[in-house]
C-alpha cells in the first residue's frame, strides 16, 4: 500500500533530506507531499488521503506550539511526527504530550533511523485504525441489539452502558460511567423483596460466568420495576487476569407474566378458577401434615349438584357453566381463607378444612356452606335453586 506523507515546513534543505530518505530502495516508499505554510497544510489535510504528517513547528504563518495545536485539530486521527531543531526540543516534548506520536531532530533525517521511525508510526496508525474500526463495529452492534449491556472494571465501576441498559436503568452512559454498579443497577429478589447479590462481584470473584436468581427484578432510577434475566461473565486481559465483567440482560416481564399464568392454569380449574385435583392433593397433604404436627384434625367435604345434567340439557351449557361458577364463588365466600375449595370435576366440589378441633365443628361448617348454596341463583332470567337435599328447581 502506497502511503502519502505530508511535510509542512518552509525549509528546502529539510524537504530535500526527507525526499532522499524516503526514496531509498526496499519496500514501496511513501509518497511525500510538501507544503510551506500552516494554511496550506490545513487545506491539504481537508482533502484527505494523508497517512502521516511531518511537522516543522516554525512556519511563515505560525510559530511554536500553536502550530502543532492547529495541525492536531485538523489532522483527525492522522499521526504527527514533529521535526525540531535541538534548541526547540522543549516545544517538541510539549507537542508529544499533546498528541504527537514522536519527534525527530532535523539533522537526524537519514536513510535508516528516520525511515524506521516513520514506518513504525505508519504501522502503529494502521493498527490503531483497525482497533478503532473493530471497536466501532462492536459498539454499533451493542447499541443495536435488544438486550441491555453493562460492563465494569475490576473494582465494580461502570465502564460501558448501551442504550437499552440506559433505558432500563434510567442512567445515561455519561451519568453511569465511573459509578459503582450497585448505584446504577439496583436489583431485588422479586419474591422476598430483599436486595439481590451483586452479579458482577460474583463473576469477578469466582472467575466464571454466572446468572441472576430466577425471580430477579430491576428497579429503574424512577422506581419502575421490570423482571429481568441475564448472564454475567468476567473479562480477561492477555495474561488471563480478570479486569472486569460484562453483563447482558433483558426484560422478561411479559414472559414472567405468561409463566405465572401457565403455572396458575396448570393448578386451577379453567371454568371456576378453583384449585384443581393436582393442587387439591397438594393442599390436602399440607393440611394433614399440619394436623399431625399440631395434634388437630382435617375435615374433607364432598359436594355435588343433583340433576345438574338436566340444567345443561334444558337450559344449555352456558347457563350450566355460569351456575358452576356461581357455586364456586359462594363456596369460597362461605369458608375461611385457610380452607381450600376445589372443583373435583363435573358438578363435584371438595372443601378441605384444616385444623379442625372437633367433628361437630366440621358439621357447623357444612351447615354454613349449605345455607350459602341454598339461596336462588339468578342466571339469564332464570332462578335456579339448590336446596339442602341437593334438589334443583327450574322455573317453567
Work out the average pLDDT over 327-341: 91
How does pLDDT run across 46-58, given as a tens digit for each residue? Answer: 998 999 999 999 9
Report the chain's mean pLDDT, rounded to a whole number. 86
Between 83 and 135, residue with greater pLDDT: 83
Cell 374433607 belongs to 300
Between 334 and 254, residue with greater pLDDT: 334
Helices (H), the chain: 12-22, 38-46, 65-75, 89-97, 113-144, 163-169, 173-176, 181-184, 199-206, 253-267, 277-294, 308-315, 317-334, 359-374
**Does residue 42 carry a pLDDT above 90?**
yes
Least confident of 110-114, 233-237, 326-330: 110-114
Work out the average pLDDT over 345-358: 88
Work out the average pLDDT over 133-137: 73
Helix (H, G, I), strand (E, B) or coil at 77: coil
Work out the average pLDDT over 12-39: 85
Q: How confident is the model at residue 197 (pLDDT cuts 50, 70, 90)?
A: confident
**Does residue 394 carry a pLDDT above 50?**
no
> What integer pLDDT is reported at residue 396 of this predicted model?
28
> What integer pLDDT is reported at residue 1 of this predicted model?
62
Q: How confident is the model at residue 171 (pLDDT cuts 50, 70, 90)?
A: very high
347 annotated active-site = yes
Percent of the chain with pLDDT over 90: 36
Work out the average pLDDT over 179-189: 91
> What integer pLDDT is reported at residue 124 of this predicted model?
84
Cell of 312: 345443561
C-beta of residue 78 within 8 angstroms of C-beta of residue 101 = no
**Does residue 30 carry a pLDDT above 50?**
yes
**Does residue 15 carry a pLDDT above 70?**
yes
> What integer pLDDT is reported at residue 391 of this predicted model?
37
Active-site pick, 189, 347, 383, 391: 347
DSSP string covering 238-250: TTS-EEEEEEEEE
Work out the average pLDDT over 136-150: 78
Least confident of 52-56, 258-262, 330-334, 369-373: 258-262
Between 321 and 345, residue with greater pLDDT: 321
Between 155 and 213, residue with greater pLDDT: 155
Q: How confident is the model at residue 20 (pLDDT cuts 50, 70, 90)?
A: confident
**Does residue 388 carry a pLDDT above 50?**
no
C-beta of residue 326 within 8 angstroms of C-beta of residue 308 = no
User: Domains in the chain, please, with CATH?
Assistant: 4-140 (3.40.50.2300), 146-252 (3.30.450.20), 268-393 (3.30.70.270)
How does pLDDT run across 112-122, given as a tens digit for each residue? Answer: 778 888 888 88
DSSP string covering 355-376: EE-SHHHHHHHHHHHHHHHHS-
**Does residue 393 carry a pLDDT above 70?**
no
Q: How confident is the model at residue 73 (pLDDT cuts 50, 70, 90)?
A: very high
Smallest CA-to-CA distance from 151 within 101, 203, 108 is with: 203
Specify the pairing of strand 4-8 against strand 31-35: parallel
Amino acid at each position: 500500500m502506497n502511503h502519502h506523507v505530508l511535510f509542512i515546513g518552509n525549509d528546502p534543505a529539510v524537504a530535500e533530506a526527507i525526499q532522499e530518505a524516503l526514496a531509498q530502495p526496499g519496500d514501496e516508499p511513501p509518497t511525500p507531499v510538501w507544503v510551506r505554510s500552516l494554511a496550506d497544510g490545513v487545506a491539504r489535510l481537508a482533502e484527505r488521503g494523508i497517512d502521516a504528517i511531518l511537522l516543522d513547528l516554525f512556519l511563515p504563518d505560525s510559530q511554536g506550539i500553536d502550530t502543532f495545536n492547529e495541525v492536531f485539530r485538523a489532522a483527525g486521527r492522522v499521526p504527527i511526527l514533529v521535526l525540531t531543531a535541538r534548541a526547540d526540543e522543549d516545544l517538541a516534548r510539549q507537542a508529544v504530550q499533546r498528541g504527537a506520536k514522536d519527534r525527530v531532530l532535523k539533522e537526524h533525517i537519514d536513510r535508516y533511523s528516520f525511515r524506521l521511525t516513520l514506518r513504525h508510526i505508519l504501522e502503529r496508525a494502521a493498527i490503531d485504525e483497525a482497533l478503532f474500526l473493530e471497536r466501532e463495529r462492536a459498539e454499533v452492534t451493542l447499541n443495536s441489539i435488544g438486550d441491555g449491556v453493562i460492563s465494569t472494571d475490576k473494582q465494580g465501576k461502570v465502564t460501558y452502558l448501551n442504550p437499552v441498559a440506559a433505558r432500563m436503568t434510567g442512567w445515561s452512559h455519561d451519568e453511569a460511567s465511573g459509578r459503582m454498579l450497585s448505584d446504577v443497577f439496583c436489583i431485588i429478589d422479586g419474591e422476598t423483596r430483599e436486595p439481590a447479590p451483586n452479579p458482577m462481584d460474583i463473576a469477578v470473584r469466582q472467575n466464571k460466568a454466572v446468572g441472576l436468581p430466577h425471580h430477579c427484578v430491576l428497579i429503574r432510577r424512577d422506581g419502575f420495576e421490570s423482571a429481568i434475566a441475564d448472564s454475567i461473565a468476567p473479562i480477561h486481559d492477555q495474561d488471563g487476569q480478570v479486569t472486569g465483567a460484562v453483563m447482558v440482560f433483558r426484560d422478561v416481564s411479559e414472559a414472567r407474566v405468561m409463566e405465572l399464568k401457565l403455572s396458575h392454569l396448570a393448578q386451577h380449574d379453567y371454568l371456576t378458577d378453583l384449585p384443581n385435583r393436582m393442587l387439591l392433593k397438594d393442599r390436602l397433604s399440607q393440611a394433614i401434615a399440619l394436623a399431625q404436627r399440631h395434634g388437630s384434625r382435617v375435615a374433607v367435604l364432598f359436594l355435588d349438584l343433583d340433576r345438574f345434567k338436566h340444567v345443561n340439557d334444558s337450559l344449555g351449557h352456558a347457563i350450566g357453566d355460569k351456575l358452576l361458577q356461581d357455586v364456586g364463588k359462594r363456596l369460597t365466600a362461605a369458608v375461611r381463607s385457610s380452607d381450600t375449595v376445589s372443583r373435583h370435576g363435573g358438578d363435584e366440589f371438595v372443601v378441605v378444612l384444616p385444623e379442625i378441633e372437633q367433628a361437630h365443628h366440621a358439621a357447623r361448617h357444612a351447615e354454613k356452606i349449605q345455607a350459602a348454596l341454598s339461596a336462588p341463583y339468578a342466571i339469564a332470567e332464570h332462578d335456579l335453586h339448590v336446596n339442602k337435599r341437593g334438589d334443583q328447581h327450574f322455573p317453567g
